Structure 1
Amino acid sequence: MRKIAATYVFPGTTSPIKNGILVCDDEGTIIDILDRGNSFHEEAGVEFYSGILAPGFVNAHCHIEFSHLHSKIEKHVGFSGFLEKINQLRNEPAEKEKAMQIADRKMWAAGIAAVGDVSNTGLSLSMKLKSKNYYHTFVEAFGFHPSRADRAFSKAEEVLESFKKAKLSASIVPHSPYSVSHELFQKVLKNAQRNGGPFTIHNQENKAETEFFLSGQGDISMHFSDNLKLDTSHWKPTGKSSLQSILEYLPKENQLLLVHNTQTKKEDIKALKQHCSLVNTFFVLCPNSNLFIENELPPVNLFRDEKLYICLGTDSMASNSELSILQEMLTIQQNFATISLEELILWSCINGAKALNIDDSFGSFDKGKKPGVNLITGIDFKTMKLTPKAKVKRLI
């Protein structure tokens, strides 16, 4: 049994405890949290740290298959430029398995305990089998032209089956509103309704996506026709935002993770509320990736005002310098000063666990859970803010 004390313990679902003591077994299962009040006296067998204890982070959106693309794409190329580079580089010869293993180990060392990972193939399967992290794999289907729907869905089913055979959690999901035809959307939706599991989609990631749905023009249209040489003659713009245009294809019962959301407006949230309950809807923010690609951030304060569930992701090494939830927290704090540390930890831990439907094991220091234990240092305790020197060390 271990007793671990710190300046503050952040349980994840209740208020921070000053000078709290976390009691857990040697395997990391939480036994109890002891509240010693405002004073702390040395006790035999208690490890004490200056800093805060928090549950293991949940990275709600990652593309570990792109780990070999680290430093291969320049910043601020814009979304269409980024898509073009991904398509050029994703199949280049590289030690992809090794790159994924390194990224996985670094996530573990950076305090991440669980990951919602988007995959197009089974390439990451063997790495995930050996990982200390929990993974839910979102098997991504995409196919813009209706004629590709059957083939695209069959491919996703094959990848899903490989993960299921390995007894790894996985579900089939669409890539984005603009890259999935109505026919493919219907297949993915029926599968989600039949089999359950978390459901995610890249949502309102850039202005080009909005323009494509409003007018059928812009960078995405050019990317399809010029870079991918796709026939776009079947496409009919809806005159509405991308989210409002695809609401009928979003399952109402599954956990729904909407990722990026940089262009989401109040009217989009209103339309979403009319379609489904927001109790199982999560807005996943990947701020460092957004800044990397288009130097833009989502309207975080709007989401807070609307009392939405927010969680954090890192996206991929193609659009980020590292897969670190702490760095995402620092970026949000730097740009949205009114957000408290307690709120950031809520987003980073229990909200992500709820989104992936693993909050029975992860996300908080509730008795019986085995969420991982992080020590975060570099805290200004007067303001209860992270400082630029903030670091995370995994204790369990």
Structure 2
Amino acid sequence: MRKISATYIISNEGTPLKNGILVLNDDNSVAELIDRKGSVKEIQDLEYYSGVIVPGFVDVFTFLSWPNMNTGLINSNDLAKLSLGETGDILMIQKAINHLEAFGTKGAADFFPAKKSHDLKKKSKLSIRDIHDTSEVYTSKLFSEFPSTVLGRLFTNNISADKAFCIGTGSLSSHLKLSVFDELKYLQTIKADLSLEQQIKWACLNGADALGFDHLGSFEIGKKPGVNLITNLDYDNFCLKSDSKLKVIV
């Protein structure tokens, strides 16, 4: 077993735990979440980090099969006119997958999947759901509360000016990095009052629920959500800063 503690743990299963302990089984599933009521008493074999421990991210909007595709509202008929060689190649698809893994993402949606990307996605460490049409999940479930005029903003900028359900990136054509964490920092700049706790719910739990990833999104016993460490925060307001950092722990 592995015991991990930090200044705070955001579990998406209750309020943040100060100096709490996350206990993982050998397969990295959650065995226990311990509330120490702020105690910093040393425990044998405890890994302690200065920062905030959060679950792995879930990216609800990617073009892994089409890494050079400009993101936006498109349809399968438009995409069917293109060949993989015109918009991307195997190396670029692998690069996109590598980005998600390196920046703490554990689950993702791949819009309009291509057959050539299948083996690469299967070999990855990610849980990936193929989305063949935007109405399959998003129009009916995620964005049902948004007017159609907002949908374009959600898909192209990944957030809504007023509220958001989930976080997504897009493609390497529109982003230098496929990093949910970078999207959270950007979101913080335009909505300064967002708490880190709220953002982590959007970036982890809501995306997992929307894509049907029951094993991701929170530090619930039995789940295997991954573990990310966020450092250099604004603790007074419990929010991100422009120079906040991310480290993948599990």
State the TM-score, normalized to the length of structure 2: 0.86
Amino acid at match of 1:102: K
2:92 match: secondary structure: helix
Quickly say closer, same or farther: Cα 1:8–1:89, change in 2 above 3 A: same
Kindly indicate whether residue 236 of structure 2 is the aligned counterpart of residue 382 of structure 1.
Answer: yes
Are 1:136 and 2:21 matched, yes or no?
no
Task: Tell me the SS of whatever aligns to 2:90.
Answer: helix
Distance in 2 between residues matched to 1:348 and 1:79, nearest whole Å: 20
Change (3 A) 1:124 1:389: same
Read off the aligned partner of 1:379 and give its amino acid letter.
L
In 1, Cα distance between the equivalents of 2:58 and 2:32? 22
Quick one: which amino acid aligns to residue 321 of structure 1?
L
Q: Does 1:258 align with 2:112?
A: no
- The Cα shift of 1:257 comes to 3.1
> What residue number does 1:211 align with?
none
1:198-237 equivalent positions in 2, closer than 5 A: 199-201=137-139
Percent of pairs with identical residues: 33
Separation in structure 2 between the aligned mates of residue 384 and residue 3 of structure 1, nearest angstrom: 24
Of the candidates 355, 360, 369, which is equivalent to residue 223 of structure 2? 369
Distance 1:340 1:94, change over 3 A: closer
Q: Is the 8 A contact 2:105 2:126 kept in 1?
A: yes
CA contact (8 A) 2:195 2:237 kept: no
Structure 1 residues 120 and 29, CA, compared in 2 at 3 Å: closer, same or farther? closer
Aligned-residue offset at 1:135 = 0.4
Structural RMSD (CA): 3.0
- Indicate the residue corresponding to 1:103 in structure 2: 96
Aligned residues: 244
- 1:356, 1:91 → 2: CA distance? 25
Q: Encode CA deviations 1:123-176: one digit per residue, 9 max, x unaligned.
A: 321111111000000023xxxxxxxxxxxxxxxxxxxxxxxxxxxxxxxx55xx
Deviations 1:330-349 (A, max 9, x none): 11110011111100000001
**How far has the Cα of 1:258 moved from its partner?**
3.2
Q: Which amino acid aligns with 2:242?
A: P
Name the structure, 1 or 2, with higher relative contact order (CA <8 Å, separation 6+): 2
Number of the residue aligned with 2:3: 3
Q: Displacement of 1:79 after TM fit? A: 7.1
How many angstroms does 1:263 deviate by? Answer: 6.1
The structure that has the greater radius of gyration is: 1
Alpha-carbon shift at residue 88 of structure 1 (Å) = 10
What is the deviation of 1:327? 0.8
The residue type equivalent to 2:180 in the other structure is: I
- Superposed displacement of residue 321, structure 1: 1.8
Q: Quick one: distance in 1 between partners of 2:179 and 2:25?
A: 27
Alpha-carbon distance, 1:67 to partner:
1.8
The equivalent residue for 1:391 is: 245
TM-score, reference length from structure 1? 0.56
Q: Structure 1 runs of 4+ off > 3 angstroms?
A: 86-95, 261-265
Q: Deviations over 1:200-234 (max 9, x none)?
A: 35xxxxxxxxxxxxxxxxxxxxxxxxxxxxxxxxx
Question: Is 1:339 matched with 2:194?
Answer: yes
Show the counterpart of 1:351. Answer: 206
Superposed, 1:42-121 pairs within 5 Å as 42-68=42-68, 91-93=84-86, 96-121=89-114
**CA displacement, residues 326-377 of structure 1 (integer Å, 9 cap, x when unaligned):** 111111110011111100000001110110122x311000001111111111
Unaligned runs of 5+ in 2: 74-78
Q: Cα offset for 1:13?
A: 2.6
Offset of residue 379 of structure 1 = 1.0
1:329 corresponding residue in structure 2: 184
More helix by share: 1
1:36 maps to 2:29? no
